[in-house]
Amino acid sequence: MNSRISSQTLKGIFPALATPVTADGQVDAGAVKALMAHLKGSGIRGAVPLGGTGEYGAASRSERSRMVSLVREHLAADLPVIAGVLDPGFYDAMDAGKALAAAGADALMVLTPYYTNPTQQGIRDYFLRYADESPLPVVIYEIPYRTRIAIAPEVLHELSRHENIIGMKACNTDMYHFLKVVAGVASDFSVLSGEDTLLPVHMAAGAQGGIVVTANLIPRTWNALYQLLAQGRTQEALLMHRQLMPLMDLAFAETNPGPMKAVWDLIGVHAPYLLAPLVTCNPDLAARLRKELQARLASEAQLN
């Protein structure tokens, strides 16, 4: 098992990194370094490049590997890089996993196979085979509002007992489904919330932390929120989360990461560009998000 990550250490806040790119679609090395500098010392437990927020499907294979390599270079040496693998088929997904492992990833966040509309048996067999052959520990990525297919709780219960599957990113917004999942997974399997908007509820129900989009912007705030929840101070955490709702509403008002990239110059990352087919967000939305982020950053400064 990789020394930086295990099911026991897969807890806390992990930013779901956006991918800074230049106008011609290449990863912006200077902006990646700036983003990592912003996250440094914030209390995060690792970083997750190349998920949906990281525009995996729009980036070239070589640039995906380059992003992972740069994140590994600039992230604290003791923190894990969990690289997304969002291919719809086994062979491309395995090739991607091996390439990202070679680039410096410590674990792979593997998406539910989609488009082919597999049965639950097919999903089970896919993840078991992937875990058997993967060069790195696997974190299951379930996000049915993108893939149009959910993983049955009983399948997740079985998968959670594979020695090379250490956890999951849970983006299923059906709370009863979530409750059934956490009720039956192995005791050493870490469920992470994949929804900024639901993280306190997920943690109250058994999640060990979260992979959080807006932690790109306000990582210290999210770590403080996590600490409250880990200490059982749920009401304080809910109040704090309520204060973040305007920011979340604006950040997700158009396809992520468009709004976030429009304002992350406020955190020292000067890379507003998106990869096709995404386009720059509405200027009015960007202006309102800028104002809200300025207020959140001012509040975050008080946490230092």
pLDDT at 23 over 60: yes
pLDDT at 64 over 70: yes
Considering the domain boundaries, does residue 3 fall inside one?
Answer: no
> What does the pLDDT look like over 27-53, one tens digit per residue?
999 999 999 999 999 999 999 999 999
Predicted confidence at residue 2, as pLDDT, reads: 60
pLDDT at 304 over 90: no
Residue 145 near residue 171 (C-beta atoms within 8 A): yes
Residue 77: give the domain boundaries: 12-235
> What does the pLDDT look like over 205-253, one tens digit per residue?
999 999 999 999 999 999 999 999 999 999 999 999 999 999 999 999 9
The CATH number of residue 58's host domain is: 3.20.20.70
Going by the DSSP 8-state scheme, the letter that residue 265 receives in this structure is: G
Considering the domain boundaries, does residue 224 fall inside one?
Answer: yes
Distance between CA 147 and CA 153 in Å, rounded? 17
> What does the pLDDT look like over 103-129, one tens digit per residue?
999 999 999 999 999 999 999 999 999
Predicted confidence at residue 303, as pLDDT, reads: 87
Predicted confidence at residue 3, as pLDDT, reads: 72
Cis peptide bond N-terminal to 144, omega within 30: no
Considering the domain boundaries, does residue 192 fall inside one?
Answer: yes
What is the count of structural domains for the chain?
A: 1
Considering the domain boundaries, does residue 164 fall inside one?
Answer: yes
Considering the domain boundaries, does residue 286 fall inside one?
Answer: no
Q: Identify the band that residue 19 occupies on the pLDDT scale cut at 50, 70 and 90.
A: very high
Predicted confidence at residue 141, as pLDDT, reads: 98
pLDDT at 1 over 60: no
Strands 82-85 and 12-15, bridge-based pairing:
unpaired
Strands 209-212 and 107-111, bridge-based pairing:
unpaired
> What does the pLDDT look like over 135-185, one tens digit per residue?
999 999 999 999 999 999 999 999 999 999 999 999 999 999 999 999 999
Catalytic annotation present for 169? yes
Considering the domain boundaries, does residue 94 fall inside one?
Answer: yes
Structure-token pair, residue 151 = 């993983």
Mean pLDDT of the chain: 97
DSSP string, 220-263: HHHHHHHHHHHTT-HHHHHHHHHHHHHHHHHHTSSSTTHHHHHH
Select which of 169, 180, 226, 273 is catalytic: 169
| pTM: predicted TM-score of the whole model, two decimal places | 0.97
Which one is predicted more confidently, 2 or 290? 290
Select which of 56, 126, 130, 141 is catalytic: 141
Catalytic annotation present for 33? no
* 260-264 contacts, C-beta under 8 A, 24 or more apart: 260/18, 260/53, 260/213, 260/214, 260/216, 260/217, 260/289, 261/18, 261/20, 262/286, 262/289, 262/290, 263/217, 263/289, 263/290, 263/293, 264/18, 264/35, 264/216, 264/217
